[in-house]
Structure 1
Amino acid sequence: MTTTPEAPEVPTALTAPQIADLRAALPYVDGWLAYRRWRERVPGVQAAVWFDDALQLSSAHGLADEEAGAPLTTEHLFRIASHSKTFTATAVLQLVERGALRLDDPVGQHVPRLAEAGSRLADATVRELLEHGAGVIRDGLDGDYWQHGRPFPDEAELIEMLLDRGDKAPAGAGFNYSNLGYSLLGLVVAAVSGRSYGDFVTESIVEPLGLRHTGPEWDESRADEYAAGHSGRHVSQTRVRLAHVDTRAMAAATGFYGTASDLVRYASAHFDGDERLLGEHSKRLAQREAWQSDASQPESAHYGLGFVIDRVGGHRVVGHSGGYPGHITRTLFDPALGLAVSVLTNAVDGPATALSSGVLRLLDLALEPAPPGLATRASSSGVDPARFTGRFAGEFGIVDVALLGENLVALHPSGADPVDGMDRLRVAGPDELLIARGNGFGAVGETMRYEFDADGRVSRLRGAGGMSMRPVTELEG
């Protein structure tokens, strides 16, 4: 019988040494992202990490536009799509805190057209819309606006889509993710606030946090700042550039743009103890698990009020992903630990979810105490373990020897999960590492032998199985 290894215990607060370990791990994390972008042949990847009340990593790899060959920067704007739902939920909760509406208000009270038409959606509550429990159809009967087959709907068309078989299930019957439901919430925000949806979220969320590169809708005046969207490679090896368009009445569900660094700053306002946007009670409501996305799958994600709640490693993480024509994105954060990660990609098949989870897995490894006898800080060898680190390749693959916190490990960046299949290493001498723990199909109990040049740089590594591997920088040269 096989057993699943337990997830490492995650701290509930960061100490000064742990913060130092996380910062020291970031160069490797960024190098891993760069390699994964290259291996997956994604045009561009923008990423950011936030902890200790500050932006700790902001990076960009690859191209903003394959056709033009333009390098991606940390200030290129991405369409962050369903991240918009977190902004919409935050706006609704702000209005609740101000006493302007109640979560249990029927939506028809604020959008009377539904009640006038006799739609049962008029009786669904604001809370049910926020948690995708109102039974609203996902995208309507003609969703080709997602493929640029037609414009996104304006307000009049949105209402007609909701009235045309828009109620696919009774309110409260189950979890039914709905972009039209969140678009309807945008109408509620406008009606209650007396402002347009875009103006309200800008004034109540974007501007107070100083998010200079974030907004609720396509901004034609900043067109040159956007990373181009690209098609996927599921039917062709050649990517096609996809245009940015206005999402009109669906901005509350999918219109927002932003950068990774702005998104982790925004996430920090949802950490425990931060009340710049919402009080503690409202944040608890937003981040509690209202529905499970697939009750038949125990590990499937949950949904709160505008936020996805998931597990990565030992973390209970909160956040959202986003899928827009040409951009796939994901932001996740641990509100108790005060740690946030955001990864944005500019292709329909961009692996933003895997990359963001991978970053968190690597940071967790940097926080994890080493097993007995393998803590590098307690080594009596007198050899600096950092001298063995680097990326090495041979005919059969690639391996990263990395020092993350007190863990000296061999990682395999070819896989989506950077920690899966890792070997734990121990310094055995000035030119040798022992593979102390790992999968028995590998070379546990054997050594990795190094050769160094006159400047102390690795010239060759005899890795698992005794096969020669060279530093990747040398192979690339």
Structure 2
Amino acid sequence: MLSSSRATGRGRRTVVAALGTALVAGTLLATGPGAQAAPWHHRPAPEHSRHHQPVMRELTPQVRAQLDTAIRSVLRTTKTPGVTVGLWAKGNHDYVRAFGTADKATHAPMSPGYNMRIGSVTKTFTVTALLRLVDHKQVRLDDPISRYVPGVPNGDHITLRHLAEMRSGLFNYLLDPDFGKDYLTDPRRTFSMSEMLAYSFKHPVAFPAGSKFDYSNTNTVLLAMVVQKVTGQPFDRYLARHVLQPAQLHHTFMPHGTEFPAPHARGYTDQTADGSIGDATDRNPLGGPSGAMISNLHDLRSWASVLADGDLLSRATQAERMKLKPTGMPGLSYGLGVFGNHGWIGHNGSLPGYQTVVVRLPRAGATLVVHTTSDIAFRGKAPATMFAKAVTSIVTPKNVYDIPVAPPARD
């Protein structure tokens, strides 16, 4: 969650993280009062030893035991109810484990077979849908958004590329106080894409298009509207037919409201009106094309490869997607709906009750998927980030996944 730091106050921070604006700050809660900047500890291996270290350690029984211990330690430290971790590598053994509970009331064990809400990982699907249209010559990345959606502030200068790479300068509707009030009043409410944009467009554009990186869910909503405009189809229908089906993802979809097919784990959050811990399972995940999708471990394993390898796109379009640019945060870069994190390629997601990391390390042929049943930050750090860092510190010590805690907002 590379987020804007414009939100202050408990109610606004609640909603800011509500939609999985998760990208590069671990959780948007980290941008609120009390969050501290974390020192950067990852150091490259000494020059003399680099050529003697494998990219990824073999998943021997000893390494598996280390992973079990590390994951259980993070589970205890963060008090996360449940987590699933999937790690796969070419020519290596798989590591797929579940820890903790899927339901604090029944104490049902966590399972790697559950459906999960994936938050901002949704953005990777939305941008892929747009890039399919680029390949079909139906849109161009350097088209202005005003060509497709009227009324966008600075719309004649903001291109589809700016939107996909989070450099539009458009206000993130999640940070609007009226949106926060409306959402907290009814967490099961469904907002249309036009309603979401209305919260954003009340605010001025923050900077000239292309000049800065600023993570905003507004961008992805607009891209979905472009897909609808050009194809004449509802976005979820086009997504299913032209992205999910070709990728053979049979357990991944865009919900219309609060539906959440069984089996699934329950999710817990402190993003509530009074700050107490509550059950967020049946909330509306909001955001549609920015953060509402549901998937499972098996599908996301496949999707990580599709995303990093460009299986659904032409070589030229995939090259455009993978033009990763600096974000201003150490070790983190962003392309078209995808990030680079210390060699790992993919995205993360966070929304009330759930966090996800879906990344691939191409040089090792390795894929990592993490699901948690809590978004409650530990000392400003996202639980999913802590699990992913623990795993990669052991198996890929030269490529440690991490997202630093953002500094506190100074409004």
Q: Structure 2 counterpart of 1:323, which letter?
A: S
Which of 213, 219, 227 is the aligned partner of 2:251? 213
Contact 1:83 1:320 (8 Å CA) reproduced: yes
Question: What stretches of structure 1 of length at least 5 have no aligned partner?
Answer: 369-415, 418-477
Name the SS for the 2:237 alignment partner.
Answer: helix
Q: CA deviation at 1:280?
A: 2.9
- 1:360 counterpart residue number: 392
Contact 1:131 1:291 (8 Å CA) reproduced: no
Question: What stretches of structure 2 of length at least 5 have no aligned partner?
Answer: 1-40, 377-381, 403-411
- 1:56 counterpart residue number: 94
- Larger relative contact order (CA 8 Å, sep ≥ 6): 2
Which of 341, 363, 368 is the aligned partner of 2:368? 341
Alignment of 1:65-76 (within 5 A): 65-76=103-114
Q: CA deviation at 1:162?
A: 3.8
Alignment of 1:18-417 (within 5 A): 21-22=58-59, 24=61, 25-52=63-90, 56-111=94-149, 113-114=150-151, 119-139=153-173, 140-141=175-176, 142-144=178-180, 148-150=184-186, 151-165=189-203, 167-217=205-255, 222-232=260-270, 239-247=277-285, 250-271=287-308, 274-294=309-329, 299-311=330-342, 316-349=343-376, 351-364=383-396
Q: Structure 1 counterpart of 2:388, which letter?
A: S
Q: CA deviation at 1:227?
A: 1.7
Contact 2:268 2:278 (8 Å CA) reproduced: yes
Q: Structure 1 counterpart of 2:362, which letter?
A: P
Go from structure 1 to structure 2 and tell me whether the alpha carbon gap of 1:68 and 1:210 turns closer, same or farther (over 3 Å shift).
same
Q: CA deviation at 1:22?
A: 3.0
Q: Structure 1 counterpart of 2:339, which letter?
A: V
- 1:467 counterpart residue number: none
| Range with bigger deviation, 41-50 or 234-243 | 234-243
Using the size of structure 1 for normalisation, the TM-score is 0.65
Distance in structure 2 (CA, Å) of the matches to 1:257 and 1:344: 12
Root-mean-square deviation (CA, aligned residues, Å) is 3.4
Q: CA deviation at 1:100?
A: 1.1
Q: CA deviation at 1:300?
A: 4.7
Q: Structure 2 counterpart of 1:40, which letter?
A: T
Go from structure 1 to structure 2 and tell me whether the alpha carbon gap of 1:237 and 1:40 turns closer, same or farther (over 3 Å shift).
farther
User: C-alpha offsets along residues 13-71 of structure 1, whole Å, 9 cap, x if unaligned?
Assistant: 989xx78x235533542443234213432110011112218982322111112123222
Go from structure 1 to structure 2 and tell me whether the alpha carbon gap of 1:67 and 1:189 turns closer, same or farther (over 3 Å shift).
same
Contact 1:293 1:303 (8 Å CA) reproduced: no
% same residue: 24
Q: Structure 1 counterpart of 2:375, which letter?
A: V
Go from structure 1 to structure 2 and tell me whether the alpha carbon gap of 1:263 and 1:65 turns closer, same or farther (over 3 Å shift).
same
Paired positions, count: 349
| Range with bigger deviation, 27-36 or 195-204 | 27-36
Q: Structure 2 counterpart of 1:51, which letter?
A: A
Contact 2:325 2:335 (8 Å CA) reproduced: yes
Using the size of structure 2 for normalisation, the TM-score is 0.75
User: C-alpha offsets along residues 250-288 of structure 1, whole Å, 9 cap, x if unaligned?
Assistant: 2111111222332122101134xx453123332232222
Q: CA deviation at 1:322?
A: 0.9
Q: CA deviation at 1:289?
A: 1.9
Q: CA deviation at 1:222?
A: 4.4
Q: CA deviation at 1:179?
A: 0.6
